[in-house]
């Protein structure tokens, strides 16, 4: 926001009527103002940093998808490399087969964690110019190009189900699953543990067996949620 200082002044003075009059999205405006509350000492500055393609990097490392790891090690464009792997042709940004980079990008953003046609649509695939008929082949091409990642999803799925059913520890790619006192724990390579409350086997919306647990759902209420390998 170019007029962040003005918005902050209105909030600090309690002039909420003016705030509502000038800004369409009040929650978004307040959200942007949170960062302005952090003020460095004189002569100092805060630097905001972000990890580059962190989801894609960690996923490739966990699954042992070697060609992807090499792309990152070489500092190459993952969207171009992914499109190249998917379609079997060289792809360069603003160069040869450059039009395929966009397909590589949308696939990378939507499909790494089990997403399919619905995930592509949610990421704006149709607005980007892709047709409905192109979506399923794009999903298939990405999964075929990343067999280690696809295998990891279902290895995790089997491990979690085994732990929930039999209450025995399992491990996949450095991820350790245990059942303890009514909780499913997933221990990450860092040592951090994620907890899933009251896990049990159930039937998902597609009629297949899946793991369910208790948590806060889309309605912000405590309810029973379902999950599966790629999501875990």
Q: How far is residue 120's CA from residue 141's CA, in Å, rounded to a whole number?
A: 13
pLDDT tier, 99 (very low <50, low <70, confident <90, very high otherwise): confident
Q: What is the DSSP letter of 99?
A: G
Read off the pLDDT of residues 166-219 as tens digits, 9 standing for 90 and up: 999 999 999 999 999 999 999 999 999 999 999 999 888 788 889 999 999 888
Contact 232, 157 (CB under 8 A): yes
Query: What is the overall mean pLDDT for the chain?
Result: 91
Q: How far is residue 118's CA from residue 125's CA, in Å, rounded to a whole number?
A: 10
Query: pLDDT value at position 24?
Result: 87
Read off the pLDDT of residues 124-173 as tens digits, 9 standing for 90 and up: 888 888 889 989 998 999 999 999 999 999 999 999 999 999 999 999 99
Contact 152, 63 (CB under 8 A): yes
User: Helix (H, G, I), strand (E, B), or coil: what is residue 32?
Assistant: helix
Q: Give Cα 224 to chain centroid, integer Å.
A: 21
């Amino acid at each position: 926001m170019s007029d962040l200082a003005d918005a902050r002044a209105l909030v600090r003075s309690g002039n909420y009527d003016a705030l509502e009059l000038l800004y369409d999205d009040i929650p978004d405006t307040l959200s942007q103002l949170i960062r302005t509350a952090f003020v460095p000492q004189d002569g100092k500055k805060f630097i905001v940093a972000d990890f580059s393609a962190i989801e894609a990097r960690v996923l490739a490392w966990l699954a042992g998808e070697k060609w992807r790891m090499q792309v990152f090690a070489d500092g190459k464009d993952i969207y171009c490399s992914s499109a190249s792997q998917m379609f079997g042709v060289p792809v360069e940004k603003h160069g040869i087969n450059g039009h395929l980079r966009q397909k590589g990008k949308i696939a990378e953003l939507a499909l790494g964690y089990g997403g399919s046609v619905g995930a592509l649509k949610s990421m704006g695939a149709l607005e980007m110019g892709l047709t409905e008929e192109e979506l399923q082949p794009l999903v298939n091409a990405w999964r075929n190009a990343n067999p280690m990642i696809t295998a990891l999803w279902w290895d995790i799925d089997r491990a979690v189900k085994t732990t929930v059913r039999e209450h025995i520890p399992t491990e996949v790619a450095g991820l350790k699953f245990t059942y303890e006192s009514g909780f499913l724990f997933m221990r990450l390579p860092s040592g951090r543990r994620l907890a899933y409350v009251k896990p049990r086997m159930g039937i998902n919306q597609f009629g297949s067996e899946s793991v369910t647990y208790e948590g806060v759902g889309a309605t912000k209420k405590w309810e029973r949620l379902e999950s599966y390998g790629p999501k875990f």
